[in-house]
Amino acid sequence: MALMTGEQFIESIRKMNMQIYMFGEKVENPVDNPILRPSLNSVRATYDLAQMPEYEDLMTVKSSITGEKINRFCHIHQSTEDLIKKVKMQRLLGQKTASCFQRCVGMDAFNAEFSTTYEIDKAHGTKYHENFVNYMKFVQENDMTVDGAMTDPKGDRALSPSKQADPDLYLRVVERRPDGVVVRGAKAHQTGICNSQEVIVMPTIALSPEDKDYAISFAVPVDAEGILMIIGRQSCDTRKLEGSQLDVGNSQYGGVEALVVFNDVFVPNDRIFLNGETEFAGMLVERFAGYHRQSYGGCKVGVGDVLIGAAALAADYNGAQKASHVKDKLIEMTHLNETLYSSGIACSAEGSKTESGNYIIDLLLANVCKQNVTRFPYEIARLAEDIAGGLMVTAPSEKDLKDPVVGPYVEKYLKGVNAVSVENRLRILRLIENLTLGTAAVGYRTESMHGAGSPQAQRIMIARQGNINGKKELAKAIAQITE
Active site residues: 100, 104, 191, 257, 292, 296, 299, 447
Cα–Cα distance for residue pair 408/335, rounded to 1 Å: 41
Cβ distance 104 to 295 under 8 Å? yes
- Contact residues for 418 (Cβ-Cβ < 8 A; gap 6+): none
Is residue 26 helix, strand or coil?
strand
What are the angstrom distances between the C-alpha of 93 and each of 73, 110, 241, 337, 395?
12, 20, 26, 15, 30
Cβ distance 143 to 51 under 8 Å? no
Selection from 395, 253, 241 nearest residue 317 by Cα: 395
Cβ distance 266 to 225 under 8 Å? yes
Selection from 24, 1, 152 nearest residue 74 by Cα: 1
Cβ distance 333 to 383 under 8 Å? yes
Tell me how many degrees the CA angle 144-149-150 measures, rounded to the nearest 5.
Answer: 145
Determine the angle formed by the axes of helices 324-349 and 363-373, rounding to 10 degrees: 160
Cα–Cα distance for residue pair 117/273, rounded to 1 Å: 6
DSSP 428-444: HHHHHHHHHTSTTHIII
Cβ distance 111 to 358 under 8 Å? yes
Maximum CA extent, the chain = 86
CA terminus-to-terminus distance, the chain: 65
- Contact residues for 44 (Cβ-Cβ < 8 A; gap 6+): 6, 9, 10
| Element spanning 447, H or E | helix 447-450
Amino acid of residue 86: K
DSSP 204-261: SS---GGGGGG-EEEEEETTSTTEEEEEPP-TTGGGGGTT-HHHHS-SS-----EEEE
Cα–Cα distance for residue pair 95/299, rounded to 1 Å: 8
